[in-house]
Every structure is written in C-alpha cells, then in structure tokens.
Amino acid sequence: MHHFHAVVWLDHREARVFEFNPEDVQKLVIHAHSPNRHIHHKSGSVGAGHAKEDEQYYHAVAEALVHAGEILIVGPGQAKTVLFKHMHAHDPKVAAKVAGIETADHPSDGQIVAHARKYFERYDKTTPQRASTT
C-alpha cells in the first residue's frame, strides 16, 4: 500500500523511510553499502579528505520514495543534501516531490513521523494546489 506523504531520515549509513496517512505508517530501512563513512586524515595529507558517495545507497533511497506524493527529507548531517542533489541528477521526478529538507539529530521513529505529520499539515494548508485537494 502506498501513501501520499513520506518522510526520510538519513545519515551516510542508514535511511529510515516512512510512508504514512492519518491511520497507517509503513517503514523501510535502507543501509549504505559502505558502513564506515567517517573520514579522518592527518594534517598535511594529500587530498580533500572526502570519500566517494555511495551512489547505490542514494539511488535505493530515491527508489523507495517513487510512489510518494510529497516528501520531507530530514537528518543530522550532509546526507540529506547529497540525497537531494542525487535526486536532481538521477531521479528528477522524485526530486520534484520534495516539499522540504530539515536538520534533525537522531529522533525516534515515532518522533520522525509525528514531526512529518505536523509539517505536512502546515504545508498542505499553505500550498495552493494542495489546499483545494486535501
């Protein structure tokens, strides 16, 4: 069963995708292929200190969001913006559904869904094309 709203909380190791409606929530967890994403380098070392992003991971997250009508992306670091950039480059139809990107530390699943419900309640009331269809 697919729901209209979705929220994804992610960092560079894990994404928790929730599709929901007022009565139901479905959760999917996606793990990055490279679980050790912390990068440390010594002073004076050559290179920018950045590892190549896990394109398969971001693609899997985007694929999990294909059926959502509106998407909220949240997370503690840069992974949320990397996901959005990946979507623009590789999944523009999914990127077009992103309603917002917000910083969130490490909330519980219940806190993520509760925040997203409130977010979309406000978003749907203030978005002209949505206000008349909800």
Q: What pLDDT, on a 0 to 100 scale, did the predictor assign at position 22? A: 86
Question: What CA–CA distance (Å, rounded) separates 113 from 18?
Answer: 7
41 domain residue, yes or no = no
Of 84, 63, 82, 60, nearest in space to 72 by CA: 84
Query: Within a 13 Å sphere around the CA of 110, how many CA atoms are in the beta-carbon half?
Result: 0
Q: List the CATH number of the domain containing 27.
A: 3.30.420.60
CA distances from 51 to 38, 57, 86 (A): 9, 14, 16
Q: What is the pLDDT of residues 74-87, one digit of tens each?
A: 999 999 999 999 99
This prediction has a pTM of 0.81
Enumerate the β-bridge partners of residue 20: 5, 25
Q: Residue 126's domain spans which residues?
A: 5-32+53-131
Tokens 């139901």 sit at which residue? Answer: 24
- Is 48 within the bounds of a domain? no
Q: Which pLDDT score is estimated for 123?
A: 82
The pLDDT of residue 82 is 96
For the chain, percent of residues with pLDDT exceeding 90: 69
Q: Does 38 fall in a domain?
A: no
- In which residue ranges of the chain is pLDDT below 50? 35-48, 130-134
* Dihedrals phi, psi of 62, to nearest 5 degrees: -60, -40
60 within some domain? yes
The string of DSSP codes covering 10-32 is E-SSEEEEEEE-SS-EEEEEEE-
**Tokens encoding 60:** 């899997």
**pLDDT of 133:** 44
The contacts of residue 30 (CB under 8 Å, 6+ apart) are 14, 15, 17, 57, 60, 61, 64
**Total number of domains constituting the chain:** 1
